[in-house]
Amino acid sequence: MSSKKDLMLGLFIVTAGVVILLGKLGVFGFLGRTLWPIVLLLPGLLLHVLFFGRRASAAILIPGGILTVYGVLFLICSFWGWDLMHSLWPILILGIAVGLYEYYLYERPRPGAVFPTALGLMLLSVVIFIFTWLNTGAFYIIALVLIAAGIWLIYGRNRTKGGKWSRGW
């Protein structure tokens, strides 16, 4: 019986030593700085599980959708840099739209004003995201695509199957 207690005490001491060593090496600080968005993501997913497990009403999907979208957004930013938030911040508005849309989708009878509100917030988010995106280098990509499309319309469409130019009128 004593050997079982000694084994448990030994495991506890080894575990304590590993935790202290990892703490001194900065592993927990790194995890705390990088993975803190999971504190938002897990409750959002849990709220979805509660609804789909038929333990809660559809109203719980509003905060569930918001927390899930925010958790994913913050997790992306914590891995790839918070400079992304400069162009991804409209997703904060989209999170509210997702929560409202999920509520509209699963609530019976369907609430009337929720869908237009969710749709309006989603469109607002997309429009702001597009304008934010245009202020980056993506503006040059759009310009090049427009130039290529114009050249194709001018030269590419006016060829016949034989390779000769056609007048088109």
Q: Which ranges of 25-158 does DSSP label H, i.e. alpha helix?
A: 27-35, 38-52, 61-80, 85-88, 91-106, 114-134, 138-151
Q: pLDDT band at 69, cuts 50/70/90?
A: very high
- Lowest average pLDDT, out of 21-30, 35-44, 140-149, goes to 21-30
Mean of pLDDT values over 36-64: 95
Please give the C-alpha separations between residue 81 and each of 26, 88, 96, in angstroms, as whole numbers: 19, 12, 23
Higher pLDDT among residues 111 and 130, named by residue:
111
**Across all residues in the chain, what is the average pLDDT?**
87
> Is the Cα torsion angle 65, 69, 74, 79 positive or negative in sign?
positive
> Is the Cα torsion angle 111, 115, 116, 117 positive or negative in sign?
positive
Q: What is the pTM of this model?
A: 0.68
Q: How much is the pLDDT for 157?
A: 66
Would you say 166 and 159 are in contact if contact means Cβ atoms under 8 Å apart?
A: yes
Higher pLDDT among residues 95 and 140, named by residue:
95
At 33, list the tokens: 């700085």
Please give the C-alpha separations between residue 51 and each of 64, 102, 107, in angstroms, as whole numbers: 9, 11, 11
Mean of pLDDT values over 145-156: 89
CA distance linking residue 67 with residue 94, whole number of Å: 11
> Is the Cα torsion angle 131, 135, 136, 140 positive or negative in sign?
positive
CA distance linking residue 4 with residue 10, whole number of Å: 10
Q: How much is the pLDDT for 57?
A: 95
CA distance linking residue 40 with residue 93, whole number of Å: 16
Which tens digits make up the pLDDT trace of 113-139? 999 999 999 999 998 888 887 776 777
